[in-house]
Amino acid sequence: MTAIPKKLLFAISDTGGGHRSAATAISGAVKLRSDATCTITDFLRATKFPGLSKAPEIYDFCSKRHVWLSNLLFKKTNSISRINTLTKMVYLQSCQHIEHELANTQPDAVIAVHPLVTGLMHIARERMEAKWPIITVVTDLVTLHASWAIPGADLYLAPTAEAANSLIRYGVPINRIVHTGFPIHPKFLQSKLTKKQARKELGIETDRFTVLLTGGGVGAGSMGEWVSALQSQCADKQILVITGNNKDLYNELIDRKPGGHLHVYRFVDNMEVMMTASDIIVTKAGPGTIMEGVAMNRPLIVTEAVGIQETGNIDYVRQNHLGYYCPVPGLACKTINEVAAKVPEDNIFNSHEDIITNGSVRIAETILQQISLENQRNWNYGNVLWGAS
């Protein structure tokens, strides 16, 4: 058998904060189990391909003001054949840049944590006559774009049974799919802070019902409107607003001279503390925040799907009794006041044992186990069916 790999390359793109967060979560879990070096690279930016190299900026633009454009691109490219064609076209123009990144890293395995990089990595492996395995980690919960299922990966790790079934419908062989759960950073499960301790750490009131409002890494959605509604209709509640990388939103809220019960934050790296300090989480239907909230045992209010890929997440929250769907601020405020009226001192919802919350641990273990097999290109999948636990 081969030795445990020393270099893992996480191929992502910073289209939103979710892909890098997932890669960081997995690498954190890997480091708890091995001395492997983990490198995270934005391969869409590295292509230097016109348009594609600006994917993070385009995503931010669409998420904040033009979701219709994101949805149009989703629909027009949502087929395996189209993605294959586009991938080959990009690689033809960008092969020098892609292969340069891979040659510099010399990975023992490539972990694709973005739907548009698996195909690029597959072509690169063939052209470079490399032996490293490609493992795709899906980060959408229910509604998957066809690019997640593009052929080329040796293994596809699915966060939910719904995602696994979507991969199967797209044609991924069932024996290449593992249901691992979503890659939540280990710190969410390791946190020992109580609610009161978390609030003291943040320097906020310790005994007031607290609402956490977030729009993901890009601060998507009409958050200014939501803050106004919360301040007027939930006036006795403490409100924590995370604006992410949305500088305009942050400045807009700061101009309101927050204080008292309103606290405004930029992009944060202590989300586990923020969630521990909260009683309820108000968020768009982003998979990362949803699954982190589940891991922290906090109820969710989902406001909207920013893009087609998030639409299935709303039903996922409702069907699994993880929280509420409130598309308008008034309904959300009514729900918050009702929840606050009956909330016990500690956690609101019971734990959800049927949802995997240690996904990063399971993913790390799967990666390390699979890439240590003797024949990396001819794996034995007999014991890793997607439904296996």
**CA distances (Å), origin 57, targets 35, 37, 218, 245:** 34, 29, 10, 11
The answer to whether 24 and 185 are in contact (CB under 8 A) is yes
In the predicted model, is pLDDT for residue 60 greater than 90? Answer: no
In the predicted model, is pLDDT for residue 348 greater than 60? Answer: no
Packed helices 247-255 and 223-233: angle between N→C axes, nearest 10 degrees: 30
Whole-number mean pLDDT of the chain? 88
Q: What's the burial of 104, exposed, middle or buried (CB within 10 Å: 0-12/13-18/19+)? A: exposed
Helices (DSSP H) in 145-281: which residue ranges? 161-170, 186-190, 195-202, 223-233, 247-255, 271-277
Mean pLDDT of 331-358: 75
pTM: 0.89
Mean pLDDT of 348-365: 76
Measured in whole angstroms, the distance separating CA 206 from the mean position of its chain's CA atoms is 30
Instruction: Read off the pLDDT of residues 72-111 as tens digits, 9 standing for 90 and up.
Output: 999 999 999 999 999 999 999 999 999 999 999 999 999 9
Packed helices 18-31 and 287-295: angle between N→C axes, nearest 10 degrees: 40
- The pLDDT score that the predictor gives to residue 369 is 86
Gap between the Cα atoms of 218 and 381, Å rounded: 38
Q: Letter for the amino acid at 117?
A: V
- The pLDDT score that the predictor gives to residue 26 is 96
Residues with Cβ within 8 Å of 46's Cβ and at least 6 positions away in sequence, in order, are 53, 94, 97, 98, 101
Gap between the Cα atoms of 29 and 206, Å rounded: 32
Mean pLDDT of 116-137: 96
- The pLDDT score that the predictor gives to residue 388 is 42
Taking the CB of residue 382, how many other CB atoms lie within 10 A of it?
Answer: 7
Instruction: Read off the pLDDT of residues 14-25 as tens digits, 9 standing for 90 and up.
Output: 987 789 999 999
- The pLDDT score that the predictor gives to residue 378 is 46
